[in-house]
Structure 1
């Protein structure tokens, strides 16, 4: 398997594969949290491309096994979406992709469904701190996490979102 950052022009050409992966991955989360109102489940190809995210993708041959879309803003990496093909779940691919972007800035933030125990365990296992739970849509609870990089800051900061 090969992991690499996509060039901006590649996002458009790989959008159909990314969108299919996104639907498969977020269908698993929807089942775990008992709610299918997760925004990435309802995106179009154009929505995915226009999100203007940076992408780190792991290829298994010409198949996308996992992808992480993120943005960088105000000294933080914001993991917007982590998508693993269900056939690759529990093989370390998610941890590998998250680790790939954690060192880009002093702080990394991410959110996941509050009832998504596997995702929460992944982030907590990588040293993320649970900051708070929010309810962006009635009945849909999301847990927000942050992590401060020791390599960049030299110490873990105490501030939260």
Structure 2
């Protein structure tokens, strides 16, 4: 069941972020991956909002948003390829207008997922050794 992210979820969100972003860093071959440098204190200060999925009481997926932008989409590596990210994205897009997201160009699974939902690449920028793609959703699912 999808629920709103609460500040009491932040410690679990931080652990999930570390697990998921380690996998992404390996996938894209990034020795230095900025999201992995964020501390739990910095995450708390950010005070992210969004939605989470719990299975058997465990936080296994989360999407955070800021305005019309998806700021993170995380799934526990133990639950990859089970539709959790798709559920979260669809739900979040039904709840509010979400138009933008950025991900590494080499993160093919994320790129495919965002494109399946209706996002299209609008620009690429290189940050350090990572090429980031910004995607925009013109067709908002569920609206």
User: How many Å apart are 1:138 and its aligned residue?
Assistant: 2.5
Question: Alignment RMSD, CA only?
Answer: 1.5
User: How many Å apart are 1:80 and its aligned residue?
Assistant: 0.3
**Structure 2 counterparts to residues 39-78 of structure 1, below 5 A:** 39-72=34-67, 77-78=68-69
SS at match of 2:13: helix
User: How many Å apart are 1:128 and its aligned residue?
Assistant: 0.6
With over 3 angstroms needed to count, the CA separation of the structure-2 counterparts of 1:22 and 1:151, relative to structure 1, is: closer
The structure number with the bigger radius of gyration is 1
SS at match of 1:59: strand
With over 3 angstroms needed to count, the CA separation of the structure-2 counterparts of 1:37 and 1:58, relative to structure 1, is: same
Q: TM-score, normalised by structure 1?
A: 0.81
Which structure 1 residue ranges, 5 or more long, are not aligned?
153-161
User: How many Å apart are 1:27 and its aligned residue?
Assistant: 0.7
1:142 pairs, out of 113, 132, 135, with 132
Q: Which 4+ residue blocks in structure 1 deviate beyond 6 angstroms?
A: none
| Separation in structure 2 between the aligned mates of residue 29 and residue 45 of structure 1, nearest angstrom | 19
**Structure 2 counterparts to residues 1-40 of structure 1, below 5 A:** 2-6=1-5, 10-11=6-7, 13-40=8-35
How many residue pairs match? The answer is: 141
Which structure 2 residue ranges, 5 or more long, are not aligned?
none
